[in-house]
Amino acid sequence: MSLLAIKSIKSLAPLLDRVLVQRVKAEARTAGGIFLPEASVKELNEAKVLAVGPGGLDKNGKTVAVSVQPGDKVLIPQYGGTGIKVGEEEYSIFRDYELLAKINE
Amino acid sequence: MSLLAIKSIKSLAPLLDRVLVQRVKAEARTAGGIFLPEASVKELNEAKVLAVGPGGLDKNGKTVAVSVQPGDKVLIPQYGGTGIKVGEEEYSIFRDYELLAKINE
Amino acid sequence: MSLLAIKSIKSLAPLLDRVLVQRVKAEARTAGGIFLPEASVKELNEAKVLAVGPGGLDKNGKTVAVSVQPGDKVLIPQYGGTGIKVGEEEYSIFRDYELLAKINE
Amino acid sequence: MSLLAIKSIKSLAPLLDRVLVQRVKAEARTAGGIFLPEASVKELNEAKVLAVGPGGLDKNGKTVAVSVQPGDKVLIPQYGGTGIKVGEEEYSIFRDYELLAKINE
Amino acid sequence: MSLLAIKSIKSLAPLLDRVLVQRVKAEARTAGGIFLPEASVKELNEAKVLAVGPGGLDKNGKTVAVSVQPGDKVLIPQYGGTGIKVGEEEYSIFRDYELLAKINE
Amino acid sequence: MSLLAIKSIKSLAPLLDRVLVQRVKAEARTAGGIFLPEASVKELNEAKVLAVGPGGLDKNGKTVAVSVQPGDKVLIPQYGGTGIKVGEEEYSIFRDYELLAKINE
Amino acid sequence: MSLLAIKSIKSLAPLLDRVLVQRVKAEARTAGGIFLPEASVKELNEAKVLAVGPGGLDKNGKTVAVSVQPGDKVLIPQYGGTGIKVGEEEYSIFRDYELLAKINE
């Protein structure tokens, strides 16, 4: 977990194909509407995209746009990513190709 | 196994060349029509495709469509894939190239 | 060994550059015509091609046809491949480039 | 940690896609303005870009410019990079693709 | 060592860039004409090419011919290759790029 | 450490993208002009380029010139390179991409 | 060490980008002209090129000539290469890119 002394997470602009996300914490409930105990909530692999990089480069040096946008909800893998802490809040940075799925609600 | 607090699996849209599948549980029977005990059924590597991503990128940055479609039945590998749990149901996400065969019935 | 509850192996259509084969069991004999004991027969690395995939993709996203056809007899490697069981019969799936040689008789 | 007997860090011109940075030490404070104890400050993963290389080469031998400029503040990974010591000051060299994000303040 | 129940090694047609060879056994002698004891002969890394595949594929999907022909004598590496047994005779299959040199006599 | 029985290091012409360097020994001093004890001097990662290869090849077989020239001073990595001994003098050979930075004085 | 029962090392024609060399044994002397004891001579990494292959293939299937010629003296790496014994003489085969430098005398 990297500690950052910045005033706002909005100061972070991911590089290349990186995607800055924050795990979803509020309103954790099962498909049936039942609220989950806090331990389960922590392990939810849903995250909200806060910022995306300009895209990585293909073998010819051309930029390839990332596949998600700020505001998207995504399914993130159980392991991996780089943890960041700003104040009391935790965030993660993933490479675009590590994100598993978009969550359309 | 990732726990997801979404209302319906239909909210999941796989990214890149990923394929969302659910193992076949019902009507498990041998080629001769004999019904299998539950333990065997669990290990069946047949799955139904629920959703597919837009496709991965080749070395020139062009999208390459995945080789299966929603509704297809497929032979999945014994190991691998990412497990997901929504409510009581379990699903898996595979990369397209990990799927072994289509099952035409 | 994956267990499949399909009625016929003919339902399996390999994906990409995969090749579905079944080891040769009958008429196992040496070059001199001498019949082999059952233990040896099991280890024969001859197999019959039952079905082939449409082919893998090269770096430009074009399909590359596999190098064998249904009906071909092939020399398979001693290890590798994915085992499948349908009813009492066992089959294997290999990637095309794993097959060692065609057997012309 | 490499020891260098040069008079000024300005003598160092990174090669290919390398980026010379120095971790931010002064004015370490949380997002809420609270000053951090020295131990925490040391672990901040913020760094200032001092110099950048001309860029690496793509598969066709063309130079690909790095994605940051001297003066940029960046989020560096917790591990990796090459440590350098000139006099009492410590610096690091990273490959451009190892930098996680720009910090815009 | 794979056991094959074929009548003749001539039935084997290597796939892709594979080369079927048989180690040289007869007339083993040193450069000075002295005959070698059987133990040494076994370890000779000279082999005769019996059959070659049509060639592997380059990155654009084009066939690249192998660099030896049936009848060539070649220097094979001390380890590697796939052993095959037909009747009492032993053979090996190598990838073309594993062969070290041609032996011109 | 390879021992070479050549008369002069000038006889060595590096191949491909290799760079022949010799660590800087003389005049080791800190940025403030203070002379360093011998132990520290040994560990300085500054080196002088003595000779460079014609350059490596890109994926299309074209030569890519190395990024330094004879006479350049460079920052070399702490580990790696191939040690060579000619008479009493020691040298190292690095691949061009292993060199970290030029030192402009 | 592979034993070869050929009459002359001249029978060996390396394949692809391989280079056949023999370590320099005679006239081992330091830069100052002092003759070295036999133990040191054995470890000299100087070798004479006896034969070269036609060259390896780039990604487009085109032949890339090797960078040395028969008669060249080269600096070989301390480890690696394939040892060959013909009669009482020992030789080595290297890939072209493993050779470190030409020795011009």
Return the CATH number at E46. 2.30.33.40
Q: What is the pLDDT of residues D87-100, one digit of tens each?
A: 889 999 999 999 99
Q: How far is CA C10 from CA C7, C51, D73, in A?
A: 9, 8, 61
Q: How far apart are the first and last CA of chain F?
A: 30
Q: What is the pLDDT of residues C15-34, one digit of tens each?
A: 999 999 999 875 555 656 66
Task: Chain B: give the shortest CA distance to residue A32, in Å.
Answer: 7
d(CA F100, CA F98): 6
CB of E10 within 8 A of CB of E48? no
Say what the pLDDT of residue F31 is.
58
User: Is the pLDDT confidence value at D102 over 70?
Assistant: yes
CB of G29 within 8 A of CB of G69? no
User: Is the pLDDT confidence value at C58 over 60?
Assistant: yes
Say what the pLDDT of residue F42 is.
52
Q: How far is CA C101 from CA C79, D57, D81, E61, E91, in A?
A: 15, 40, 48, 20, 13
Say what the pLDDT of residue B29 is.
59
Confidence of residue A23 (pLDDT cuts 50, 70, 90): very high
Q: What is the pLDDT of residues D48-59, one digit of tens each?
A: 999 999 999 887
**Which neighbouring-strand residues pair with D103?**
A12, D73
- Beta strands D82-86; A56-57: pairing state: unpaired
ipTM of the complex: 0.84
Give mean pLDDT, residues C2-14: 87
Query: Which residues in chain E have Cβ-Cβ distances shorter than 8 Å to C75?
Result: 2, 4, 12, 84, 93
Query: Cβ–Cβ of G101/F18 closer than 8 Å?
Result: yes
CA atoms within 13 A on the CB side of A28: 18
Give the mean pLDDT of chain C.
86
CB of E87 within 8 A of CB of E38? no
Say what the pLDDT of residue F100 is.
97
- Residue C72: DSSP 8-state: -
Say what the pLDDT of residue B40 is.
55
Nearest by CB to residue A30, choosing from B14, B82, B87, is B87
Say what the pLDDT of residue G30 is.
61
Say what the pLDDT of residue C6 is.
83
Task: Residue A30: give the domain boundaries.
Answer: 2-103
Which pair of tokens denotes residue F59?
């994926």
Q: What is the pLDDT of residues D8-36, one digit of tens each?
A: 899 999 999 999 999 987 555 565 666 66
d(CA B94, CA A18): 22
Q: What is the pLDDT of residues G18-74, one digit of tens each?
A: 999 999 875 555 656 666 665 555 567 999 999 999 999 887 788 999 999 999 999
Q: Cα–chain-centroid distance for residue D21?
A: 2
Task: Chain D: give the shortest CA distance to residue F60, in Å.
Answer: 7
- CA proximity to E96, closest of E59, E51, E61: E51
Give the nearest chain E residue to G63 (CA atoms). E64
Give the nearest chain E residue to G14 (CA atoms). E101
Confidence of residue B18 (pLDDT cuts 50, 70, 90): very high
Query: Which residues in chain A have Cβ-Cβ distances shorter than 8 Å to D30?
Result: 5, 87
Say what the pLDDT of residue F7 is.
81
The set of residues, in sequence order, having a beta carbon less than 8 Å from that of D38 and lying 6+ positions away, is: none
Query: Cβ–Cβ of C67/E6 closer than 8 Å?
Result: no
Element (DSSP H or E) covering residue D42? helix D38-42
Q: What is the pLDDT of residues A46-95, one digit of tens each?
A: 999 999 999 998 877 889 999 999 999 999 998 889 999 988 899 999 99
Query: Which residues in chain E have Cβ-Cβ distances shorter than 8 Å to C36?
Result: 3, 5
Give the nearest chain E residue to C62 (CA atoms). E61
Residues from E in contact with C at Cβ < 8 Å: 2-8, 11-16, 18, 20, 53-54, 57, 59-61, 82, 84, 86-87, 93
Q: How many structural domains is chain B composed of? A: 1
Which pair of tokens denotes residue B3?
């726990």
d(CA F48, CA F27): 13
Query: Cβ–Cβ of E36/G5 closer than 8 Å?
Result: yes
d(CA F27, CA D6): 11
Helix (H, G, I), strand (E, B) or coil at F46: strand
Query: Which residues in chain G have Cβ-Cβ distances shorter than 8 Å to E57?
Result: none
Say what the pLDDT of residue G7 is.
81
- CA proximity to A100, closest of G72, B93, F25: B93
Q: Cα–chain-centroid distance for residue G85?
A: 13
Say what the pLDDT of residue G44 is.
79
Residue ranges in chain E whose pLDDT is less than 70: 26-43
Nearest by CB to residue B103, choosing from C12, C16, C59, is C12
Confidence of residue D74 (pLDDT cuts 50, 70, 90): very high
Say what the pLDDT of residue B35 is.
66
Residue ranges in chain F whose pLDDT is less than 70: 26-43
Q: How far is CA F92 from CA A103, D81, F105, in A?
A: 55, 22, 22
